[in-house]
A and B are shown apart, each in its own frame.
Chain A
C-alpha cells in the first residue's frame, strides 16, 4: 500500500507490448489464424458495394438478367465465406483472450505463493487481488480483441480506399481528406469522455459508500437525529453524478454529431464533385456513397483500440512488476536441489523434525522499518516447551513467530531448528512441521472435511474423528445436517466465530505438527464455547513445542516461559512467578487482565 498504489498512467516503451511477447508466444498460431481469418472476413464488407454497383450497372443499366444465377451464387458464397471466416476469427479471439487471461492469472497467483510476508505486509489484499483478477483481464482483452478490431476495421478501410482509388482516384483522394480530421476530433473527444467516465465511476463508488454508511450507521444516525442531514449530504453526491452523467451524454452526443456530419460531408463531396452525370455511372456513384459513409465507424473502432492500448499500459506495468518481484525469503539453490521447492518437494530427502528451536544472537529489523526490534537476542526453546508471548495490542508480539516460521529472516544471527540453521533446509520442510491457529480463524470455502484435511490430506476418517473429539469440535459437526460434508461458505462465513475457532484447532491437531503456533482469540464468544476453546488449546499444545501469543490468564500462568513485549521489544522474560515478583510491566498487564477477566466471569 505504498509507492505503487498510484493509478497514474505509466509510460513504457512501445506501450509495454514487448513485455507481453513472452507471455503470448504460445498463442502465436491462434493469433495468426485469427488475423488471417479476420482479413478474409472483411472481404465481404468491401465486396458488398461492388456487388451492388454490378447490379446497378449490369442488370439495371444493361437491362438484362443474364448473369443473375452466377451473381446470386457469388453473393451467397461471399456471405457464407466471410461469415465462416468471421466465426473462426471471433472464436479464436475469445478463446485466446480467456486463455491468455488464464495463464496470466495462474502466473500471478503462483508467483504470489512464493513471495515473502514483507510483500503482503506492504500491499493490501484488495490491491493484490485486483492485480491477479483484473489487470490480467485487461491484458487478455488487449492482445485479442483490440488486435482483432484493428485487423477488421483497418482491412475494411484499406480495402475501401483501394477500391475507390482504382475506380476514381480524384474523388477517392477528396474523400480521404476527411479521415485525418475525424481521427483528431475523435481522439480529443475520447480523452474527455474517458475523464468523464472516470469521474462517474468515482462518484458511483462514493454513492455506494454513502449507502453503506447510511445503512451500517443507522443506529447512530437515529440516535443523533441526523437523518435529514445525512440525506441532504447524499443529495449533494447524487446531484453531482447527475450533472456529470448529463455532461458525458452531451459529449457523446456531440461526438455522434461530428461523426454524422463527417460522413454526410463525405456524401456531399461525392454528390458534388462526383460528376456522375452519365447513366452508366450510377453504379460508381452508389459505390462511393456506400464507402464514404461506411468509413467513419471503422475509424472510431481503431481509435478506441489504440486508446485501449494506451490505458492498458498501467495494467501491464503493474502485472509485470508483480511477476518480477523477488521474495525476501528464498531457499538457496543447493537447498532446493536437495529438498525441492514449494511446488515439487523432494520428501524422500527430508529429515524428520524434532522441534527444538533456538535463537542465536538474532538481530532483526522489519524490511519496511528502520528500528531493530530484536537486538542480539538469544533464546533456547527445547522440544516440548510452552512459550507464551504477552503484551498490549500492537506491541509486536508476532515478531518471534514470524522468525520461527521463517516468514521473515533475521537481519543477523541465526534461528536454529533442531540445532541447524533454518536456512539449511527448505521452507516447505519447516512449514510441514508447523501448525498454526490464528486469532481470527481462517477457513477456506469448501466442506468441513476439506478444511480439516488442509494440513494433512492423507488423514483417515478415524484420524479426523479423533481430532474433532479431542477439541470437542465433534459436537459442532454433529449439529450440522450434512456432518463433515457441510459447506462452510466463503471464508467459513456460514459458521460462527466460535465454531470456526474450534475447527481450526482440529485442523492444526490433525496435521500433528511438532511446532504449534497459537494466536489466542480475543473475539467475544459465549462462555461455554470459550471454555471449550481453552480446553482445546490445552489439548493442542500437549507433546509439542508451542508458541502462544497469549491473552488469557490460564495460558500465561501455566506457560514454561513468558516473554513480555512492549513497543516491539522484549522487555521482560521469565516464569509467571518470577515476572510477578519483578513488579514491572508484566505485573501491571496481569493485574489489569485479572480484573477484567474476573469481572467478565461474574457478569457472563
Chain B
C-alpha cells in the first residue's frame, strides 16, 4: 500500500468533504423541524439547542418568519448548496486520489516489467501477466474508489445520523437501530451467494462464447464435415444451460431485493408507528417526528449497500496480492563496480558452457575469439545453441561465473554496465517484433532524434526503401493490428534498419534474413560491408552464400564446436558445412538423381 503515498492528500480532502456533506445532510431536516414546530405549530423554542434558538432570534423570531417563509426556503437552499459543493468535492477528490493511485500503480508496473530479467518473461505466461496488469488493477481501483472511501463515507453518515437521532429521542433511535444489523447480515449473506452465482454464470458465458468462437474459426471444418446440425445442438444446449443459470440467479436476486424491501419497509414502519406513539405521549414534537423519519431514510440505503461492499473486499485482496507478485520479482541489476569500456575490441568466449534452468546443457565448452572488425558466421541445427550464444553475449541470460567468461576488449561482460553493453550490441532477432506504430516510429524507436537522412540511409542499407515507396503512406504507414501487415521478409528488413540506425560497433544477426530472397540478402550484406566495415559481426545463417563471405565460420553441433575455420578451410574438410554447400550449389538434375537413388 506504499502507493497510497502520492494520493493521501486527496483522500483526506475527500473524507473532509464527506464529513461536510453529511453535516449538511443533518441540518436540512432540522430546518424542516423548526419550520414545522416553531413556525407552523408555534411551539416554544425551549426544547431547541441554544445555538438554534439564537439563530431563530437573529432571523427575527418565529412570528416574523411566519410572514416570511421564503427565508426558511432560502436556508434550505443554502444548506443544500454547501452539501452540493462538499459532494462535488468528495467525488472529484475521490477520483483524483484514485486515478493518481492507479496511474502510479500502472506506471510502476510497466517500468518494472520492462526491467525484469528476460528469464522471468519466459517463465510467466503473457496472458496471465496482462490479466494482472489490467483486471486486477481495475479491481484495486474499484476497491479504493468505491469500497474504501464509500465505506468511510457511510460510517460518517451513520455516526452523525445516529447522533442526531439520539439527541431527539433515545427510545425511537433504538427502535430504528435494532433491525439494521439484520439488514446488513441479510445482504451480506445474499451477496456471498450472488458472487458464487455470478462466477458460475461468467464461467458458463465463457464456455458459450468459446463455443461460438470455435465455430467461427473452424467454419471450414464444420462445413466440410457437414456438422451444422451438431453445432446448432451443441450451442443450443450450452445456451440453454447458461440461460437457466441466469434465470435461477435472477429469481434469487429478485427475491433478495423484494425481501430486503420488506425488511427495510418494516423498519420504516416501526419508526412511523412508534414515532406517532411517542408524539402522542409528548416525548416528541411533530417537527421532530418528520425530521426523524428523514434521518431514518438516510440510513436505510447505505446499510443495504454495506453487505455488498463487505462482500467485494475479499476480491480486492486477491487482486492486490496478484499485483504484488509482479512487483516483488527482482529487476535486472548491474554489479556495483560496473564499467563502460570501449566496445570495439575483440570478443572472446572463454570455455563457455550453459544450461537453461532444469534443462540439459545447451552449450558446452565453447571457446573462440572474434577479432575486432571481423565477421563470425555460425551454422547449426535447431537446438544447437546458436541463439543461446547471442543471448549470453547480450546478457539476456546471465552467464553463471563458474561457466566460463565472455569478454569484450578484455573486459568480462558481467562487469559492463548493462545499458552500455546492450546499446553497443545491435541485435536482430530471429522473429522480428515490430511495434504497432508507424514505420518511421518503428525505425527510430531506439534513436528518437534521428535525422531524416540517416533514417533513409539505414532503410536503404536494409533494402527497405523500395518497399516503403510502394506503400501509399510511405514511412507513415501504420504497422500491426490497425494497419498494414508486413510480410516476414519485410519485417526482417525493418528490424535490420531499426538496428542499423544505432550504429553499434557489434552487430548480431540471428537468422534474420531467412525470409528474404537470396539476391536481397546479398545486397544487404554488401551494403553493410560498405557502410559498417569496422563493426564486429556475429551472423547466424543457413545460407552458404551468406556464410562464405564471413571471416571465419563456426559450426555448432548440440552445443559443441564441431568445426571452426575460414569458409575456405571448411569447404575443403568433410563435415556439415561442406555437405550443405554441396546441396545448395548442386543443380536440380543432380538432386533428382540423388532423390531417386
Q: Chain A interface (Cβ within 8 Å of chain B)?
A: 44, 48, 51-52, 55-56, 59-61, 63-65, 68, 71-72, 75-76, 79-80, 82-84, 86-88, 90-91, 93-95, 97-99, 101-102, 105-106, 109-110, 112-114, 117, 120, 125, 128-129, 132-133, 204, 207-227, 229-231, 234-235, 238-239, 241-242, 245-246, 248-250, 252-254, 256-257, 260-261, 264-265, 267-269, 271-272, 274-279, 281-282, 285-286, 289, 342-345, 405, 407, 427-428, 431-432, 434-436, 438, 442, 444-445, 454-455, 457, 490-491, 511, 517, 524, 553, 557, 580, 587, 590-591, 594-595, 598-600, 602-604
Contact = CB atoms under 8 A, between A and B. Distances in A.
Contact of B40 (A277, A590, A594): A277
A208 B134 contact: yes
Contacts of A55: 272-273, 275-276
A125 B272 CA distance: 60
Interface in B108-167: 110-111, 113-116, 118, 121, 126, 129-130, 133-134
B433 interface: yes
A224 B498 contact: yes
A431 B261 contact: no
Contacts of B239: 102, 105-106, 109
Nearest to B517: A592
A52 B294 CA distance: 12
A85 B60 CA distance: 51
Interface residues of B, number: 141
Given A238-B103, A245-B99, A436-B221, A260 B87 contact: yes
Contacts of A436: 220-221, 224-225
B467 interface: no
B425 to A, nearest CB: 7
A232 to B, nearest CB: 9
A97 B250 CA distance: 10
Nearest to B120: A218
A133 B381 CA distance: 46
B329 interface: no
A357 to B, nearest CB: 15
A533 B513 CA distance: 28
B19 to A, nearest CB: 17
Given A60-B289, A75-B269, A253-B92, A271 B73 contact: yes
A215 B216 contact: no
Interface string B234-267: 0110011011001101110111011101100110
Contacts of A211: 110, 113, 129-130, 133-134
B87 A213 contact: no
Nearest to A240: B103
Contact of A223 (B73, B218, B422): B422
Given A242-B99, A442-B218, A264 B381 contact: no
Given A98-B246, A268-B77, 20 more contacts: A60-B286, A88-B254, A91-B255, A106-B235, A117-B219, A125-B216, A208-B133, A210-B110, A211-B110, A214-B113, A218-B113, A218-B116, A250-B95, A265-B77, A281-B40, A285-B40, A286-B290, A436-B225, A594-B591, A602-B583
A51 B249 CA distance: 34
A133 B351 CA distance: 59
Nearest to A57: B286
B76 A271 contact: yes
Interface stretch (B64-72, B457-465, B520-528): B64-72
Contacts of A242: 99-100, 102-103
A90 B212 contact: no
6 contacts: A106-B232, A209-B436, A226-B445, A256-B91, A265-B77, A285-B40
Given A207-B106, A215-B126, A234-B110, A587 B588 contact: yes
Contacts of B338: none
A219 B212 contact: no
Given A90-B258, A227-B114, A260-B87, A219 B429 contact: yes
B87 to A, nearest CB: 6
A275 B253 CA distance: 44
B279 interface: yes
B273 A68 contact: yes
Given A217-B435, A405-B224, A94 B251 contact: yes
A68 B277 CA distance: 10
A271 B394 contact: no
Interface in B79-101: 79-81, 83-85, 87-88, 90-92, 94-96, 98-100
Given A125-B216, A490-B210, A225 B446 contact: yes
Nearest to B591: A594
Contacts of B433: 216-217, 219-220
A343 B229 CA distance: 5
Contacts of B359: none
Interface in B186-245: 207-232, 235-236, 239-240, 242-243
Count chain B CB atoms within 10 A of each CB in A86, A217, A272 and give the residue with the most: A272
A117 B219 CA distance: 8
A491 B87 contact: no
Contacts of B592: 580
A352 to B, nearest CB: 15
A83 B261 contact: yes
B180 interface: no
Contacts of A44: 265
Contacts of B240: 102
B272 A52 contact: yes
A122 B137 CA distance: 36
Contact of B134 (A207, A265, A276): A207
A112 B231 CA distance: 11
B126 A212 contact: yes
B496 interface: no
A227 B112 CA distance: 9
Contact of B219 (A120, A272, A553): A120
Count chain A CB atoms within 10 A of each CB in B36, B207, B261, B432 and give the residue with the most: B261
Given A208-B134, A218-B121, A246 B72 contact: no
B448 A227 contact: no
Interface in B7-49: 28, 32, 35-36, 40-41
A224 B254 CA distance: 57
A82 B268 CA distance: 15
Given A75-B269, A256-B88, A246 B247 contact: no
Nearest to B544: A599
A256 B86 CA distance: 11
Contact of B445 (A71, A229, A235, A445): A229
Nearest to A577: B592
Contacts of A599: 542, 580, 583-584
A80 to B, nearest CB: 6
B396 A222 contact: yes
A87 B255 contact: yes
Contacts of A260: 80, 83-84, 87
Contacts of B498: 224
Contacts of A97: 250
B568 to A, nearest CB: 20
Contacts of B379: 603
Smallest CB-CB A-B distances: 8 pairs: A94-B250, A249-B95, A90-B254, A431-B226, A436-B224, A264-B80, A87-B258, A603-B381
A262 B555 CA distance: 83
Nearest to B133: A211
Contacts of A90: 250, 253-254, 257-258
B588 A591 contact: yes
Contact of A257 (B77, B84, B114): B84
Contacts of B242: 102
B327 interface: no
Interface string B399-442: 00000000000000000000100110101010011011000000
Count chain B CB atoms within 10 A of each CB in A249, A281, A455, A600 and give the residue with the most: A249
B225 A435 contact: yes
A114 B215 CA distance: 12
B319 interface: no
